[in-house]
Amino acid sequence: MRVIATAGHVDHGKSTLVRRLTGMEPDRWAEERRRGLTLDLGFAWTRLGEEEIAFVDVPGHQRFVPNMLAGVGPVPAALVVVAADEGWMPQSAEHLAALDAFGVRHGLLAVTKSDRADPARATAAALEEIAATALGEVPAVSVSGTTGEGLEDLRSQLAELASRLPPPDPDADVRLWIDRAFTIKGAGTVVTGTLGGGTLRVGDELTLGETSVQIRGLQSLGEPRESVSAVARIAVNLRGVPKDSVGRGDVLLTPGAWRPATEADVRLRGAASGELHRNLVLHLGSAAVPARVRPLGPDTARLLLASPLPLRTGDRGLLRDPGEHRIPAGFDVLDVRPPSLARRGAARARGEELATREPGWDYLRREGFVRHEEFRALGLPEVGDRLGNWHADPAHLARLRAEAGKAVVAWSREHPLAAGIPAEALRHRLGLPDAELLPAVLSDGLVLKDGLVGKPGAGLTAEVEKAVKLLEKRFAEHPFRAPEADELRKLGLGKRELAAAVRVGRLRAIADGVVLSPDAPRRAAEVLAALGEPFTVSRARQALDSTRRVMIPLLEHLDAAGLTEPLGDGTRRICCAGPANGLP
């Protein structure tokens, strides 16, 4: 399906053309039909050639410009209508400016009432005006809504226009701007809009503001559907949504794929930043939101929105003063996560930055790290070094690697017996947003192990080294006599010092406060194996020349390693001994 909006001055025959083309009545309200004046958006559709075409018919009167903007905002193409007997008129210009501001690039000119006046003059004037906008050069057709003359040519040109439209992306994130909301008895709330990208399916979960909603049913072109892909006019039956909680300007979104913004930096089209009033209305899609404008540069500004909108870089919209009937200003969204302007001179500096902006890189350099899905949500190209679910600014990454090395050295200086700085403490020092990023900022020579970051093989202080050497001398003579707590205290070996010695492999902890040489378990197993028969704790103590304080935890250590086996009668037997059992 292709969706085309009408545009043009009041009473130039937009609705009449849609009626003749489709056989459907686009004016939905009785008052519209009674007055012969379109007040709100109308919808109709037909098949032209191989294409289904849906029309969004908009009001032409200046009092209903907001309704017109809600209709043309989401559509990709327009049928510009100008009457031959009146020619180019004020609302012709305002509607064309709106199409230009929204970035509509595909269109067709229909010069109506050609039976009342020669269409040549109106056609030439309209084509000149249109050529100066994003629409560029468009085909023109002269037609009479009264006699039907030129309708077949118009149908042919509309089919040609539809074939030129760029193919939509059925896998895109859904952003359905709502232009109508009503209730159907037995079904509940129904909303309609132009689906510009993506696919909707019955049962899908979407977000509406801060609420999660589910699709109960779908319709397109008056027929129920299980799924609808862009581009399409679509009616969505929402489950459990009160009618008074949703209306024109609201938007249905793919969950988690959009980041509502309350401010954005934009480039202006059709007006300089200094020419705009500070308080305007921003139109995007079917939404109309009050916005304050802060100039940044000659053609750039910061928009501050009264309520959040799901914006992406590259979006096009317009700014309008509702109190004045003047040509609106268009804008292109440059940044939906702009930096603060709190410091003095920040606005001017920001304007200079935007003049030489690099989409994606500007945001990444400002943040340092950006989640992978954030680029798509903000409408930015993916740049930087990919680190799992993150992208990193290479320069920022290099700075953090240097800082990480300094932080580990400083921590080791303050905690000489520690195996390293706790990983979480280092993460906070470096300002990393996720622990997943920590390994990437560790420079050569740093390792992450057991939740600590440090240099491998970190040594002992001179005092601890001296005390451990004394113990090693002792173990050379009596390998199974562990020093008492008082002896350790006199040597200056507290819990931290012993833990450091165990960590570097100079001692082995058999139990709390019981340390032996690293090879003590292996040597004990070899001695006990020589006994040749089951042994008691007492027999083992005698064979190893040890004490009961040491022997009980030592035998339990050997049991856990599978070197000895308790027999249940107070004796043990040797299973095997040696490095194959995990002991040195």
d(CA 389, CA 148): 60
Residue 384 lies in a domain: no
Adjacent-strand bridge partners of 381:
none
d(CA 514, CA 498): 10
What is the pLDDT, as a whole number, of residue 37?
Answer: 44
472, 520: one domain: yes
Quickly list H helices, 324-371: 346-355, 361-367
Confidence of residue 578 (pLDDT cuts 50, 70, 90): very low
Q: What is the mean pLDDT of residues 147-157?
A: 91
Q: In this structure, how many other beta carbons lie within 10 angstroms of the beta carbon of residue 266?
A: 30
Confidence of residue 269 (pLDDT cuts 50, 70, 90): confident
Q: Which two tokens stand for residue 352?
A: 């200079």
d(CA 516, CA 444): 34
Of residues 426 and 496, more confidently modeled: 426
Per-residue DSSP letters for 94-116? HHHHHHHHHT--EEEEEEE-TTT
Domain boundary among 164, 194, 214: 164
What is the pLDDT, as a whole number, of residue 28?
Answer: 54
Report the candidate in 435, 428, 440 with the shortest Cα–Cα distance to residue 396. Answer: 440
475, 565: one domain: yes
Residue 142 lies in a domain: yes
Whose tokens are 């003047």? That residue is 326
Based on its alpha-carbon atoms, the radius of gyration of the chain, rounded to whole angstroms, reads 39
Q: Which residues contact 437 (CB under 8 A, 6 or more apart)?
A: 369, 387, 388, 390, 392, 427
421, 487: one domain: no
> For 508-561, how does the pLDDT look when each residue is reduced to its tens digit (9 = 90+)?
898 888 999 999 999 999 999 888 889 999 999 999 999 999 999 999 999 988
Residue 380 lies in a domain: no
- Identify the CATH number of the domain in which residue 118 sits: 3.40.50.300
Report the candidate in 443, 434, 423 with the shortest Cα–Cα distance to residue 390. Answer: 434
- Identify the CATH number of the domain in which residue 223 sits: 2.40.30.10
Strands 287-297 and 227-229: unpaired
275, 215: one domain: no
What is the pLDDT, as a whole number, of residue 580?
Answer: 41
> For 273-332, how does the pLDDT look when each residue is reduced to its tens digit (9 = 90+)?
777 777 899 999 889 999 999 999 999 999 999 999 999 999 999 898 877 656 678 899
What is the pLDDT, as a whole number, of residue 38?
Answer: 52
Quickly list H helices, 379-461: 394-414, 423-430
Residues of the domain holding 559: 463-581
Residue 375 lies in a domain: no
415, 533: one domain: no
d(CA 513, CA 407): 32
- Identify the CATH number of the domain in which residue 492 sits: 1.10.10.10
> For 392-422, how does the pLDDT look when each residue is reduced to its tens digit (9 = 90+)?
999 999 999 999 988 888 877 777 666 678 8
Number of domains observed in the structure of the chain: 5
Domain boundary among 454, 477, 504: 454
Q: In this structure, how many other beta carbons lie within 10 angstroms of the beta carbon of residue 473?
A: 9
CA dihedral 446, 448, 453, 457 (to 10 degrees): -60
335, 402: one domain: no
117, 181: one domain: no
Report the candidate in 17, 284, 304, 315 with the shortest Cα–Cα distance to residue 147. Answer: 17
Residue 362 lies in a domain: no
483, 530: one domain: yes
Burial of 392 (0-12, 13-18, 19+ CB in 10 A): buried
437, 489: one domain: no
Residue 372 lies in a domain: no
Domain boundary among 253, 275, 305: 253
121, 6: one domain: yes
